[in-house]
């Protein structure tokens, strides 16, 4: 198999040798190129050296937790998607992960089929758009798919890949109320085990980045219905 035939390059980070080897072997068998790391420091070094397309990152690492690793990655300008491996399915862990730019979660113990499915879903939803709407403009908000940049009032706003996909979906449907089910289906491409709270969390953090200072509030909630991106002329 040549490097060009790999589906994507993955960085697998877990301090447990058995899990790290099992994941690496299984993901290679599924058609991915895999780089492995045993701790946060190795993960940061591997990210710099290999520029992966996605990281599968254990939250509990011996030197620094996975959230800290992700913060350091984002601070260094690396915005590839991150799938966290968590030992507990706790809301607090999910919220923390969203804060630092995580894109999905797999709770231990996990099935290898589930991990592969989650990875492929994240890669699909964070891939560049392949339509004619490479640049979307709604009022003073601009999204450039090719450059993967978002600006409001000319100022660049840093978004994680999934935040970018969520904002794009809202911008493609201005003034239209989108239900949590619609957002889950379009942005996550599966029902996230029925956990609609993931949508609430992403909307909350996206709002904190988009609707800041004295600017008009664009991302609005219709309680009991869903969310919408409100344009100036509809206020």
Q: Would you say the pTM of this structure is higher than 0.85? A: no
> In this predicted structure, what is the pLDDT of residue 125?
75
Decide yes or no: CATH 2.40.37.10 for domain 135-229: no
Q: Read off the tokens for 9.
A: 């390059």
Helix residue ranges, H only, the chain: 17-29, 40-50, 66-75, 91-100, 112-126, 161-171, 180-183, 197-210
Which H, E and C letters describe 125-175, residue by residue?
HHCCCCCCCCEEEECCEEEECCCCEEEECCEEECCCHHHHHHHHHHHCCCC
pLDDT-based confidence at 4, cuts 50/70/90?
very low
Q: Which CATH superfamily groups domain 8-125?
A: Response regulator (3.40.50.2300)
What pLDDT is recorded for position 94? 59
Tokens 């085990």 -> residue: 193
Q: Do domains 8-125 and 135-229 have the same CATH topology?
A: no
Average pLDDT over residues 197-217: 87
Residue linked to tokens 């991302």: 219
What is the structure's pLDDT at 95? 59
Average pLDDT estimate for 77-105? 74
pLDDT for residue 3 is more than 60: no
In this predicted structure, the answer to whether residue 194 has a pLDDT above a threshold of 90 is: no
Q: How far apart are CA 19 and CA 219, in angstroms?
A: 41
User: For the chain, what is the radius of gyration of the CA atoms?
Assistant: 18
Q: Would you give the DSSP letter of residue 223?
A: T
Cis peptide before 73 (omega within 30 of 0): no
What pLDDT does 108 receive?
Answer: 83
Please return the burial class of 79, using the count of CB atoms within 10 Å of its CB with bins 0-12, 13-18 and 19+: middle
Residue 30 structure tokens: 């599924």
Tokens representing 99? 């804060």
Q: Where along the chain do its domains lie?
A: 8-125, 135-229
49-87 confidence digits (pLDDT tens): 999 999 999 999 999 999 999 989 988 888 889 998 887
Q: Say what the pLDDT of residue 61 is.
A: 94
Backbone angle region of 226, left / alpha / beta, with phi > 0 → left and psi within -120 to 50 → alpha: left
**pLDDT more than 70, % of the chain:** 86
Token pair recorded at residue 82:
């991150």
If you average pLDDT over residues 107-113, what whole number do you get?
A: 86
Mean pLDDT of the chain: 85
Q: Is the pLDDT of residue 150 over 90?
A: yes
């Amino acid at each position: 198999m040549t490097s060009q035939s790999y589906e994507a390059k993955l960085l697998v980070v877990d301090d447990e040798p058995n899990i790290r080897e099992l994941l690496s072997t299984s993901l290679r068998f599924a058609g991915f190129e895999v780089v492995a790391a045993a701790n946060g420091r190795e993960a940061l070094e591997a990210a710099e050296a290999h520029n992966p397309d996605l990281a599968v990152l254990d939250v509990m690492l011996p030197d620094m937790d996975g959230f800290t690793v992700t913060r350091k990655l984002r601070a260094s300008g690396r915005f590839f998607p991150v799938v966290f491996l968590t030992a507990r399915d706790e809301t607090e862990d999910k919220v923390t992960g969203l804060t630092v730019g995580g894109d999905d979660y797999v709770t231990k113990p996990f099935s290898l089929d589930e991990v592969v499915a989650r990875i492929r879903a994240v890669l699909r939803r964070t891939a560049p758009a392949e339509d004619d709407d490479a640049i979307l403009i709604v009022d003073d908000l601009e999204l450039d798919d090719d450059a993967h940049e978002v600006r409001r009032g000319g100022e660049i706003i840093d978004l994680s890949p999934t935040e970018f996909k969520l904002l794009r979906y809202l911008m493609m449907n201005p003034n239209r109320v989108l239900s949590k089910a619609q957002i889950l289906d379009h942005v996550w491409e599966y029902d996230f085990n029925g956990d609609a709270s993931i949508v609430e969390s992403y909307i909350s953090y996206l709002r904190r980045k988009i609707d800041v200072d004295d600017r008009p509030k664009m991302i609005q909630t219709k309680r009991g219905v869903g969310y919408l991106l409100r344009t100036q002329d509809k206020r």
